Structure 1
């Protein structure tokens, strides 16, 4: 068995020395670039399997050429940079270029990635194809995801393994953890990467138009159907369909989605002919699937169809060190966009590091955006407004009478929510986290008590 080939284009002597010292590098047949020649030309000539490339110039011609080069999808890339935002590199990562490590580098994680690549290459036997500047980010990057914690690197490895399969995936994680970015990264690393990625929020679907949104309709199929409409299954033909917050789809409509997954067939509203779906399904939910099934929010048979491979997304509080890194990352990109040099004070970073971020990455990003606007040159702790949407326990219990029976409190909440939704029982059930059937049973109970 021959060793896979490794290509290295690294100009920084210390980084080169550190990489050469890794045991995992010695498992490869090593090819080092000639520093003053186009490294992509050299890489193509050597026909290597893995490339370690240091990015140290926005004018790197080879990097620009790589965007349209077949090598992008034939070779595993590990990029290294100081962290300055680079639009060319960002485009490459969105196209599934591989890993992007930002200084200061974690050699253990780099070695772990190389070990995984080495194992995969040998297994397949080629059968399948410190303080940073205010203008830099130091987080590693994989596809559309950034993060240097061990939790994120575990996620990267999972995505690599799942992406190349045909299995449907269910992404499970709290709101704000980046589930759509994970779905998109799965797409760009899959064999469907050159075809469409279509995302739809199932919670925003109108019950009256779900069939049309999913499967499309023909002109005249119903009042207001003035022209043919492609549903998301047809829009994503050959590519990936992302069903975000799939547990928010009305329970009674989930069987229609199940039929497509089981048979591969669907019919646009009003159309006489059946169409065959050619899409990969990736779904996501912020609920615990077992709880959603128990509460009749998610059909159990649909869950097993969607979750051929479940992917658990770590919360920001479980990504050690990533909160400060993400704050610096968001700030660096905003600085570059506006030509500014704002920075985070040490006390601001301490505040970021010690807050638990219940809204996850989304909450952190919004906090940095607000702080950036409010601060002049240095972002201080008072500029970082947090906890605005997460009131204390005392605030949450304000207005609830002491000693009231729990079933009476439940009745008040149900009836007030129903009134707010103008009697819409489906919306009310979804907001309360119960099934429509459970809501009907409780309303029938209240009505019978009233009649007595």
Structure 2
């Protein structure tokens, strides 16, 4: 039997009156009766909610009422809200397939509203499920209306997109690790909502840039314009980003739109946003706080310009680190929807599939194949900490090909490439087959060279023990750049050796 089911969130401030109001307006809108009410309430509000729910049948025309306990809070982040609703509301809706659900999305909590929209457009809410918001419909003023976003089929958008990253790597249907699936789900759904800023966090090499340039841009159906924030010259950053008018400064012989103006109709991606100069950060606050993304070019005294552009940000810093590096107002505005991309060491189950895609993209020798299920790869995937994340997989693929050209034996090439990676993380920087003396025992070497080698050995050991550059930097009480510089010459073939 198909029942019309009202779903709402209980708050002590509004109590049952909000549910009754929604029920009455909903029945007017659908031209029929609501058969059942489902109410989500926090654990500490359970007793009060149950008491008020028991009184509802008399107030609301004999409705059957049920309550779901859900620890929703005003200050929760999107990932927590997503997990809570996935564990409470979604299973309930699944168990009652066949009914029509009407969810009150006109909630005061903006995070909860966003999560409900994401769940709907990710296909996680069984159909028919309608999200209702307050607003004005085409027939005149109404208290509630069904939320409909002008988006196309997600699958159709992905098929239209070109590029190996969108087509294959991080294919949601092939991903099995929960952290990565949750991250992709959030990107898929948030990307389909116009004009909301998105912040991607994750260690270097986790694929943030390619996720934005390939996947997110494909979902939105818009071109992506990437700004490498660290490459902006401080004295020219304002003009580069916001443009300038003729005569604004020496050499400004014509008006220029700046990157924001040039990106109108597309996506503007700020890669490593913490590297933006502070003056630019303050100007970006103005762009973000206005829904039409208004800005004023350098030297202009006229009216502000508007930019039809979606803004996306990324950083390899942690949320805490980023909050200390950014202007507080800017951080608050760009972190409303934050997605954390997990490192490869937390995605062990997905490594064979990721390797298949990396190998397919980077193999250059015709006919050379290396199955993801190869025992040599399997042991490597289970134990290596992958401090460089996807870059380590790419580097491994390149080294296998280099060594294959030398030996003409794929088994030897794989074993040799794996030994190279193991040696990078061993305390003394040695391999199993060719032990070498510790640098500090080589008495004839110059002091500077010996100190240099000692530093690299200490860094290798720290990364091997702690599993990431960031963790190794904390353990050695240095910044992450020092860790990366110490190992940079060994991370990728062709970079050359470091000099003392």
Q: How far apart in 1 are the matches of 2:341 and 2:454?
A: 33
Q: C-alpha displacement at 1:160, in angstroms?
A: 2.4
Q: Does 1:307 align with 2:335?
A: yes
Correspondence for 2:447: none
Tell me the matched-pair count: 284
Which of the pair has more CA radius of gyration? 2
TM-score normalised over the length of structure 2: 0.49
Classify 1:239/1:386 alpha carbon distance in 2 versus 1 (closer, same or farther; 3 Å). same
Correspondence for 1:186: 216
TM-score normalised over the length of structure 1: 0.54
SS in 2 for 1:283: strand
Correspondence for 1:354: 383
Q: Does 1:287 align with 2:317?
A: yes
SS in 2 for 1:171: strand
Q: How far apart in 2 are the matches of 1:374 and 1:239?
A: 43
SS in 2 for 1:117: coil
Q: Deviations over 1:90-118 (max 9, x none)?
A: xxxxxxxxxxxxxxxxxxxxxxx999636
Correspondence for 1:177: 206
Classify 1:144/1:321 alpha carbon distance in 2 versus 1 (closer, same or farther; 3 Å). closer
Gaps (5+ residues) in structure 2? Answer: 4-93, 99-118, 132-146, 152-164, 430-450, 457-478, 483-500
- Checking the alignment, whether the CA contact within 8 Å between 2:286 and 2:294 is kept in structure 1 is yes
Q: C-alpha displacement at 1:187, in angstroms?
A: 3.0
Gaps (5+ residues) in structure 1? Answer: 3-23, 29-112, 130-136, 401-428, 433-452
- Checking the alignment, whether the CA contact within 8 Å between 1:144 and 1:181 is kept in structure 2 is no
Q: C-alpha displacement at 1:291, in angstroms?
A: 2.7
Q: Does 1:316 align with 2:344?
A: yes
Q: Deviations over 1:392-413 (max 9, x none)?
A: 599899479xxxxxxxxxxxxx
- Checking the alignment, whether the CA contact within 8 Å between 1:168 and 1:309 is kept in structure 2 is yes
SS in 2 for 1:284: strand
SS in 2 for 1:343: coil
Classify 1:189/1:302 alpha carbon distance in 2 versus 1 (closer, same or farther; 3 Å). same
Q: How far apart in 2 are the matches of 1:216 and 1:146?
A: 43
Classify 1:282/1:307 alpha carbon distance in 2 versus 1 (closer, same or farther; 3 Å). same
Q: Does 1:119 align with 2:137?
A: no
Correspondence for 1:329: 357
Q: How far apart in 1 are the matches of 2:125 and 2:172?
A: 24
Matches within 5 A, 1:153-302: 153-166=181-194, 167-184=196-213, 185-190=215-220, 193=221, 195-263=222-290, 264-273=293-302, 274-294=304-324, 297-302=325-330
Q: C-alpha displacement at 1:242, in angstroms?
A: 0.9
Classify 1:431/1:262 alpha carbon distance in 2 versus 1 (closer, same or farther; 3 Å). farther
Q: C-alpha displacement at 1:153, in angstroms?
A: 1.9
Correspondence for 2:179: 151
Q: Deviations over 1:308-352 (max 9, x none)?
A: 1111111100012223332232223344x5432232652244224
Q: C-alpha displacement at 1:144, in angstroms?
A: 9.9
Q: C-alpha displacement at 1:226, in angstroms?
A: 4.9
Classify 1:118/1:313 alpha carbon distance in 2 versus 1 (closer, same or farther; 3 Å). closer
Q: Deviations over 1:367-421 (max 9, x none)?
A: 2122223213514221243268768599899479xxxxxxxxxxxxxxxxxxxxx
- Checking the alignment, whether the CA contact within 8 Å between 1:152 and 1:319 is kept in structure 2 is yes
Q: How far apart in 2 are the matches of 1:161 and 1:115?
A: 6
Classify 1:226/1:145 alpha carbon distance in 2 versus 1 (closer, same or farther; 3 Å). farther
Q: C-alpha displacement at 1:174, in angstroms?
A: 0.6
Q: How far apart in 2 are the matches of 1:393 and 1:248?
A: 35
Q: Which has the higher contact order (CA 8 A, sep 6+)?
A: 1
Aligned mate of 1:342, from 360, 369, 388: 369
Q: How far apart in 1 are the matches of 2:192 and 2:298?
A: 33
